[in-house]
Amino acid sequence: MHIGIDAELGLAHNLSTTSANVHDITEADKLLHGDETDCWGDAGYQVVEKRKKHKGKDTEWHVAMRPAKRWGLDPESTDAKKEEAKASTRAKVEHPFRYVKRVRH
Average pLDDT over residues 5-18: 82
State how many domains the chain has.
Answer: 1
Contacts of 7 (CB under 8 A, 6+ apart): 38, 40, 89, 92
Please give the model's pTM, rounded to 2 decimal places: 0.70
Please list the residues that pair with 39 across neighbouring strands: 61
Q: In which domain, by residue range, is 6 found?
A: 2-102
pLDDT over 90 at 76, yes or no: yes
Burial of 39 (0-12, 13-18, 19+ CB in 10 A): buried
Q: Which residues of 75-101 are buried (b: 16+ CB within 10 A; e: fewer)?
A: eeeeeeeebeebeeebebbeebeeeee
User: For residue 19, what pLDDT is reported?
Assistant: 93
**pLDDT tens digit string along 51-71?**
777 777 788 888 888 888 888
pLDDT given for residue 58 in this prediction: 80
Say whether 2 sits in a helix, a strand or coil. strand
